[in-house]
Amino acid sequence: MSLALRQFTKAPSSLGCSSSLSSSSPLLRHAATQPTIARTTTMTAKRHLSAYGYEQTKALAFTQYGEPKDVLKLHSHSIPPASKDLVTLRFLASPINPADINQIQGVYPSRPTFSTTLGAPEPTAVGGNEGVAEVLSVGGNVKNFSRGDWVVMRLPGFGTWRTHAQTTVENLVRITDKTDLSPVQVGTASINPCTAYRMLLDFVSPNPDKNDWFIQNGANSGVGRAAIQLGKLWGYKSINIIRARADEAETERTKNELLALGADIVITDAEAQSREFRSQVAEWTNGGREKVRLALNCVGGPLVNSMAKILADSSRVVTYGAMSRKPVSVPASLQIFKDIGFDGFWVSRWAEAHPEQKAKTLEHVLQLTREKKFVDVPVSETRWDYETKGETLIEAVQGTLDGFRHGKGVFVFGNT
Ligand SMILES: NC(=O)c1ccc[n+]([C@@H]2O[C@H](COP(=O)([O-])OP(=O)(O)OC[C@H]3O[C@@H](n4cnc5c(N)ncnc54)[C@H](OP(=O)(O)O)[C@@H]3O)[C@@H](O)[C@H]2O)c1
């Protein structure tokens, strides 16, 4: 069994009007492990305004569910100057997450908002659930938000794959301190890092004095990379499972990337399902004296059983994704005799129930980012300018469905 083992160091509803629909190779910039600093203000950027001062805007929108390449269109419309309670936003960075694709396919529980407010003839929804935007202007009744502020969306379903939006402040969370943060860092912090953060803390409390461990699959995903780093900060050791690459050198490169982030062990899914796995775990955990108390699962299928079988009594398996589309079948003996709990976690539901805790969690993630204790996922940026063709943007979305990617797709807005 080839294992990557690291010496453990103890560490402690938008509104709009007039429109047109048009459908049109992504400009990908791979930003290794370091976040790319995109434009940090739009205040000096050229605006595309009509003679009446209406913002000329674009959105990746759809009127029916289906594959992104079949249903997404680049929709043009205009937004009037902000008045009364309204805020006009210009997006800076919006990631392309797996859930965004599922939402367009119509297989995600949180539905997009279909409305006629974009001025299209049919009810239209805008893709994307996460992102950061800058306040361009505010109406006379708006308090506590001003031009130049950065905001993220309070809940999913807003539609973030658009150059601009107009909305009211209940839908927004203001970033109180954007110092030393890039739009990509802020625009990707709301979902994945917050999901990892809550799953690590809310199901089992790590005991750094006892060298507790967690195990996870999908370890190179955005959530997985966040869990490695946050776990390390909070005293958790980690066993991390990735899918082997076609090329062994590429598998080793991925393992090494995760080890550099703070992972203790990185193995492939085949290694986790091998006969030697249990004895290897015993070796890593000081003969089993250190306990693996939590398993995080975003893959599903038989791999989850291999993970659950090495857990200490009364541990928890938390499922938050199903990338393999295979169900988790739970062995009764683990539930009966070992008291292993099988739970699910959905950050959207949690955020709706705990808005203040969500804001605090996000703030803490951004603080850790600023202190360089937390690094962003590698990203493949697709730059979105006013003239960018729909085909380029749609191709970037469709590509997200492919596995073995080098970075998370992110729209980074340029001259819009
Ligand atoms: N429940 C929640 O609140 C919540 C919140 C955030 C995310 N999620 C879910 O968490 C998962 C990861 O999201 P993310 O944004 O972190 O992902 P991401 O950064 O886009 O990475 C995708 C991950 O999925 C893996 N993957 C893709 N196809 C796979 C397959 N067929 N079998 C096994 N693994 C596969 C990839 O592995 P390779 O590199 O090997 O392709 C990669 O690790 C998704 O299922 C997402 O919906 C859930």
pLDDT value of residue 400: 85
Look at residues 387, 380, 400 and name the one whose alpha carbon lies nearest to residue 93: 380
Q: In this model, does residue 21 exceed pLDDT 80? A: no
Mutate to test the pocket of ligand 1, among 190, 230, 323, 354 (most ligand atoms within 8 A of CB): 323
| Cβ atoms 88, 164 nearer than 8 A | yes
Mean pLDDT of 392-411: 90
3-state class (DSSP) for residue 355: helix
Sign of CA dihedral 137, 75, 395, 44: negative
* Ligand 1 atom at minimal distance to the Cα of residue 95: 15
pLDDT band (50, 70, 90) for residue 117 = confident
CA distance 55 to 45: 13
Q: What band does 25 get if pLDDT is binned at 50, 70 and 90?
A: very low
- Which ligand 1 atom is at minimum distance from the Cα of 223? 16
List residues bridging with 292 in a β-sheet. Answer: 213
Q: Which of these ranges, 38-42, 129-133, 170-174, 285-289, has the smallest mean pLDDT? A: 38-42
* The pLDDT value given to residue 293: 97
Residue 32 has pLDDT above 70, yes or no: no
Q: Across residues 187-191, what is the average pLDDT?
A: 97
- Which of 52, 108, 236, 386 is catalytic? The answer is 108
Contact call for residues 350 and 201 (beta carbons, < 8 A): no
- Average pLDDT for the chain: 89
Q: Can you tell me the mean pLDDT for 123-137?
A: 97
Q: How far apart are CA 143 and CA 154, in angstroms?
A: 17
- Ligand 1 centre and the CA of 244: distance in Å? 15
Name which residue sits closest to atom 10 of ligand 1, judged by CA. Answer: 321
Q: What pLDDT does 176 receive? A: 94
State in Å: Cα 321 to ligand 1 middle: 7
Give the length of the chain.
416
- DSSP E strands: which ranges in 112-163? 125-126, 132-138, 150-153
Q: Is residue 339 left, alpha or beta, with left meaning phi > 0 and alpha meaning psi from -120 to 50?
A: left
108 classed as catalytic:
yes
Q: Which atom of ligand 1 is nearest to the CA of 226?
A: 16
pLDDT tens-digit readout, 222-253 = 999 999 999 999 999 999 999 999 999 999 99
What is the whole-number distance in angstroms between the Cα of residue 188 and the centre of ligand 1? 14
- Please name the residue that has the structure tokens 């090329």: 247
pLDDT at 42: 53
Residue 218 CA: which ligand 1 atom is closest?
A: 43
Collapsing DSSP to helix, strand or coil, 366 comes out as helix
Q: How many CA atoms lie within 13 A of 66 on its CB side?
A: 10
Distance (Å) from CA 119 to ligand 1 centroid: 34
Ligand 1 atom nearest to 400, measured from its CA: 20
Residue nearest to atom 23 of ligand 1 (CA): 221
* Share above pLDDT 70 across residues of the chain, in percent, rounded to a whole number: 89
Which token pair is 220?
Answer: 């190179």
Using pLDDT thresholds of 50, 70 and 90, give the confidence band for residue 77.
very high
Lowest mean pLDDT among 20-24, 153-157, 251-255, 287-291: 20-24
Per-residue pLDDT at 141 exceeds 70 = yes
Residue 13 has pLDDT above 80, yes or no: no
Query: Which pLDDT belongs to residue 41?
Result: 54
**Interval 304-353: pLDDT, tens:** 999 999 999 999 999 999 999 999 988 999 999 999 999 999 999 999 99
Distance 221 CA to ligand 1 centre (A): 5
> Residue whose CA is closest, atom 27 of ligand 1?
403
Distance of alpha carbon 128 from alpha carbon 72, whole angstroms: 12
Give yes or no for a contact between 225 and 195, defined as CB atoms under 8 angstroms apart. Answer: no
The pLDDT score that the predictor gives to residue 53 is 80
Q: What is the pLDDT of residue 402?
A: 81
The per-residue pLDDT for range 195-232, each reduced to its tens digit, is 999 999 999 987 877 899 999 999 999 999 999 999 99
Angle between helices 192-202 and 355-370 (to 10 degrees): 110
Q: Give distance in angstroms: CA of 192 to centre of ligand 1.
A: 10
What was the pLDDT predicted at 55? 87
The closest residue, in CA terms, to atom 21 on ligand 1 is 221
The residues lining ligand 1, judged by C-beta closer than 6 Å to any ligand atom, are: 97-99, 191-192, 195, 218, 220-223, 242-243, 298-299, 320-321, 323-324, 345-347, 377, 403-404, 408
Residues 6 or more apart from 17 whose CB is under 8 A from it?
54, 77, 78, 79, 80, 117, 119
pLDDT at 120: 86
The residue whose C-alpha atom lies closest to atom 42 belonging to ligand 1 is 221
